[in-house]
């Protein structure tokens, strides 16, 4: 039978061993991102490229509409304030507000956009767009680009035509709710810029079906 001194020694040694194990245990691994996810919010060429139709032509339209450009020094604060306002106004709706260089991109998921195969703005999307329009119309010194996407079901030509109609529908909505038409251009990208490749589940297809509104500073 073990005496008290022996038992105490065993307990002390066990505690030291356990403490050492805790101190040397490796940290938990970082979360794993699926290999088929592409973080296009920051790297998509169409988001970091020139405005739809080209800066020179678009700037001519804004000047004709009496909209003055931003001075270079004013751009950072102007866009930061716009981003903050958009984040406050859309909090809890389920949108992504992304910074891509100087531009701001509002990404709207499929659940808030259009029914399958439709380019008619549905009621849930109407309320979302109205919130966005309230802010965008007051920030006149920005170009407004509207991009629409589809998943990969259907034909390439059919998806391109559908995305063109959806982008145009959103552009028309913004114009009808106070955003100067001279500021707006739209483009459908069909199935060419997916977030998920392949989109072999409904969750992935829904992520690929999205609308994005890009706000780019109108610089002098």
- For residue 4, being part of any structural domain is answered with no
Q: Which helix (H) or strand (E) holds 127?
A: helix 123-136
Instruction: Please state the separation of Cα 32 from the chain's center in Å.
Output: 21
Query: Does residue 94 contact residue 112 with C-beta atoms inside 8 Å?
Result: yes
- For residue 170, being part of any structural domain is answered with yes
- For residue 62, being part of any structural domain is answered with yes
- For residue 103, being part of any structural domain is answered with yes
CATH number at residue 124: 3.30.1330.60
For β-strands 184-188 and 142-148, DSSP reports them as parallel
Q: Supply the pTM of this predicted model.
A: 0.80
Q: Rounded to a whole number, what is the distance in angstroms from the first to the last CA of the chain? A: 91
Domain containing residue 189: 41-217
- For residue 12, being part of any structural domain is answered with no
Question: Tens place of pLDDT for every residue, the chain, 220 residues?
Answer: 445 554 444 444 454 444 444 444 444 444 344 444 444 546 778 988 999 999 999 999 999 999 999 999 999 999 999 999 999 988 888 788 999 999 999 998 877 788 878 888 888 778 888 989 999 999 999 999 999 999 988 899 999 999 999 999 999 999 999 999 999 999 999 999 988 888 888 888 888 889 999 999 999 7
- For residue 143, being part of any structural domain is answered with yes
In the chain, the number of structural domains is: 1
- For residue 204, being part of any structural domain is answered with yes
- For residue 27, being part of any structural domain is answered with no
């Amino acid at each position: 039978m073990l005496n008290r001194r022996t038992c105490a020694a065993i307990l002390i040694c066990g505690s030291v061993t356990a403490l050492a194990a805790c101190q040397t245990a490796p940290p938990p691994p970082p979360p794993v991102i699926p290999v088929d996810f592409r973080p296009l919010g920051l790297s998509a060429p169409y988001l970091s490229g020139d405005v739809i139709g080209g800066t020179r032509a678009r700037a001519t339209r804004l000047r004709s509409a009496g909209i003055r450009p931003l001075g270079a020094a004013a751009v950072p604060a102007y866009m930061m304030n716009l981003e903050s306002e958009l984040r406050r106004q859309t909090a809890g709706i389920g949108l992504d507000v992304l910074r891509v260089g100087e531009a701001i991109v509002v990404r709207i998921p499929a659940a808030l956009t259009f029914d399958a195969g439709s380019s008619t703005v549905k009621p849930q999307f109407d309320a979302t767009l109205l919130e966005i329009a309230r802010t965008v119309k007051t920030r006149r010194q920005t170009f407004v680009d509207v991009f629409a996407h589809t998943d990969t079901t259907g034909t390439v030509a059919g998806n391109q035509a559908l995305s063109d109609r959806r982008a145009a529908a959103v552009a028309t909505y913004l114009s009808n709710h106070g955003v100067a038409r001279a500021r707006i251009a739209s483009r459908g990208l069909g199935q060419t810029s997916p977030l998920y490749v392949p989109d072999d589940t409904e969750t992935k297809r829904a992520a690929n079906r999205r609308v994005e509104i890009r706000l780019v500073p109108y610089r002098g």
